[in-house]
């Protein structure tokens, strides 16, 4: 391919401030990647209020047929139920079969203690996010129920992804997160299936060098705050992975630093872990570094290692120098100023 077609879905709130910054950083890579061509796509709450659809068919079609990869910003999903609305990011992950959400969390400053260098591998298609909720009138008022789906297939493939990542890292350590002491059927299936991955015939002993640990999700959060250095790769069902990665983000300073990729076997979509941040949206002070790092993760998964390394190094340098930072990192700079500092390093 002569060019790299990148779908851009800024969606809502600060997504519209940080995704354009990531785009500029990608352009600055020049010939280290194939010539980028950007495909502007819409989705989100604002899209829903304007068009009645949160995830237009054209967006999904363009991703499937016209893009090599994508970057997603953040959506503003309302906390109340809105008829006809459903979070487009949850739908996109399922629609594009992006079954793994890979979220690296690393200490910002080399001197930071305790030192944190972990990856949360979050199952991305099922658990409570199948969103099958019902409500009915019961004997003592309304009763609400939700279905929590855990399948062997999804647990196996997220397990494979997690073992592959752990196997490639120096420490080769994997912690399985679950709550099987209470949810022995659903989390039991997740735990047992992930544990079985190294024994699969097709794996052929490849993961025998990975040390396996497991931890109940509540004590995993406790441990994350007390001794985060024990964790290397953590694999978790969807909801636990969502919560654990925000918790880990707090330990390294800001959600505005934490990138992710939504990965499947055939497509990859970078996405900052944070949401649309209505408290700071429109002020021009959103931290663009999580999105630039998400672009790096996306490029790395596509095999453009040099481009990815350059983005990461440029971001690291801005953080290390500590002079041009947004307010979430106790700085006074704007999104544009931080972007300019990254571009200068590139
Ligand atoms: P949030 O991640 O949007 O914000 C949490 C806190 O972190 C806020 O104080 C915010 O200002 C700060 N923050 C987040 N990103 C930042 C950045 N780049 N720079 C500086 N500060 C940053 O979480 P929330 O407030 O709970 O949710 C807001 C909305 O986002 C909700 O509608 C929620 O549904 C949505 N959301 C979407 C996604 C997604 O798109 N995948 C993820 C999480 C939340
Ligand atoms: K996001
Ligand atoms: Mn989240």
Question: 235-282 pLDDT, tens per residue?
Answer: 999 999 999 998 998 888 899 999 999 999 999 999 999 999 999 999
Q: Which residues line ligand 1 (CB under 6 A)?
A: 14, 18, 74-77, 89, 255-256, 274-280, 286-287, 290, 326, 328
The ligand whose atoms approach the alpha carbon of 54 most closely is 1
Active site (annotated) includes residue 179: yes
CA quadruple 272, 276, 281, 286: dihedral, nearest 10: -20
Active site (annotated) includes residue 279: no
Q: Tokens representing 279? A: 């408290």
Half-sphere exposure of 164 (CA within 13 A, CB side): 11
- Ligand 3 (ion): residues with CB under 5 Å are 242
**Which pLDDT does position 108 carry in this prediction?**
79
Helix (H, G, I), strand (E, B), or coil: what is residue 212? strand
Rounded to the nearest whole angstrom, what is the distance from the C-alpha of residue 76 to the centroid of ligand 1? Answer: 8
Q: Tokens representing 225? A: 């705050």
Mutate to test the pocket of ligand 1, among 13, 46, 274, 336 (most ligand atoms within 8 A of CB): 274
DSSP count for the chain of H helices, then E strands: 11, 12
- For 1-98+258-346, CATH number out of 3.90.1150.10, 3.40.718.10, 1.10.260.40, 3.20.20.140 equals 3.40.718.10
Question: Which residue, judged by its Cα, is nearest atom 17 of ligand 1?
Answer: 256
Query: What crossing angle do the helices spanning 335-345 and 305-321 adopt, rounded to 10°?
Result: 120
Is 265 within 8 Å of 312 (Cβ atoms)?
no
Active site (annotated) includes residue 218: yes
Question: Which atom of ligand 1 lies at the shortest distance from residue 286's CA?
Answer: 19
Q: Among residues 97, 246, 309, 316, which one is catalytic?
A: 246
pTM assigned to the model: 0.96
Q: Which distant-in-sequence residues (6+ apart) come within 8 Å of 303 by Cβ?
A: none
Asked whether the predicted pLDDT for residue 113 surpasses 90, the reply is: no
Asked whether the predicted pLDDT for residue 1 surpasses 90, the reply is: no
Confidence of residue 109 (pLDDT cuts 50, 70, 90): confident
Active site (annotated) includes residue 242: yes
Q: Do domains 1-98+258-346 and 113-251 have the same CATH topology?
A: yes
Active site (annotated) includes residue 316: no
Question: 303-342 pLDDT, tens per residue?
Answer: 999 999 999 999 999 999 999 999 999 999 999 999 999 9
Give the total residue count for the chain: 346
Confidence of residue 166 (pLDDT cuts 50, 70, 90): very high
- Ordered by start, the domain boundaries in the chain are 1-98+258-346, 113-251
**CA–CA separation, 168 and 90 (whole Å):** 28
Q: Report ipTM (2 d.p.).
A: 0.99
Rounded to the nearest whole angstrom, what is the distance from the C-alpha of residue 57 to the centroid of ligand 2? Answer: 20
The ligand whose atoms approach the alpha carbon of 43 most closely is 1
Rounded to the nearest whole angstrom, what is the distance from the C-alpha of residue 34 to the centroid of ligand 3? Answer: 31
Q: Among residues 12, 23, 179, 312, which one is catalytic?
A: 179
Is 11 within 8 Å of 74 (Cβ atoms)?
yes
The ligand whose atoms approach the alpha carbon of 330 most closely is 1
Considering the domain 113-251 in this protein, what is its CATH number?
3.40.718.10
């Amino acid at each position: 391919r002569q060019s790299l077609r990148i779908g851009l879905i800024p969606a809502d709130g600060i997504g519209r401030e940080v995704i354009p910054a990531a785009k500029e950083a990608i352009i600055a890579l020049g010939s280290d990647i194939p010539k980028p061509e950007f495909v502007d796509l819409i989705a989100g709450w604002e899209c829903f209020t304007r068009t009645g659809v949160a995830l237009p068919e054209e967006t999904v079609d363009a991703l499937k047929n016209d893009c090599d990869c994508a970057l997603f910003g953040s959506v503003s999903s309302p906390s109340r139920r809105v008829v006809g609305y459903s979070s487009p990011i949850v739908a996109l992950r399922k629609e594009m079969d992006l079954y793994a959400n890979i979220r690296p969390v690393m200490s910002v400053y080399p001197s930071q203690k305790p030192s944190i260098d972990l990856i949360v591998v979050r199952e991305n298609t099922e658990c409570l996010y199948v969103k099958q909720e019902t409500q009915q009138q019961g004997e003592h008022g309304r009763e609400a129920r939700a279905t929590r789906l855990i399948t062997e297939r999804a647990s196996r493939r997220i397990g494979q992804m997690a073992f592959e990542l752990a196997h490639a890292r120096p420490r080769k350590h994997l912690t399985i997160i679950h709550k099987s002491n209470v949810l022995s059927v659903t989390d039991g299936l997740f735990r047992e299936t992930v544990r079985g991955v190294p024994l699969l015939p097709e794996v052929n002993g490849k993961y025998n060098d990975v040390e396996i640990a497991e931890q109940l999700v509540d004590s995993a959060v406790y441990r994350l705050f007390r001794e985060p250095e024990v964790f290397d790769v953590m694999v978790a069902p969807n909801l636990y992975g969502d919560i654990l990665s925000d918790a880990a983000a707090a330990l390294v300073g800001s959600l505005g630093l934490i990138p992710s990729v939504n990965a499947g076997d055939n497509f990859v979509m970078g996405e900052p872990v944070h949401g649309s941040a209505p408290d700071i949206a429109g002020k021009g002070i959103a931290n663009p570094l999580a999105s630039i790092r998400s672009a790096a993760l996306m490029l790395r998964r596509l095999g453009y290692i040099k481009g990815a390394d350059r983005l990461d190094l440029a971001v690291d340098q801005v953080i290390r120098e500590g002079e041009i930072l947004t307010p979430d990192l106790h700085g006074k700079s704007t999104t544009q100023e931080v972007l300019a500092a990254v571009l200068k390093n590139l």
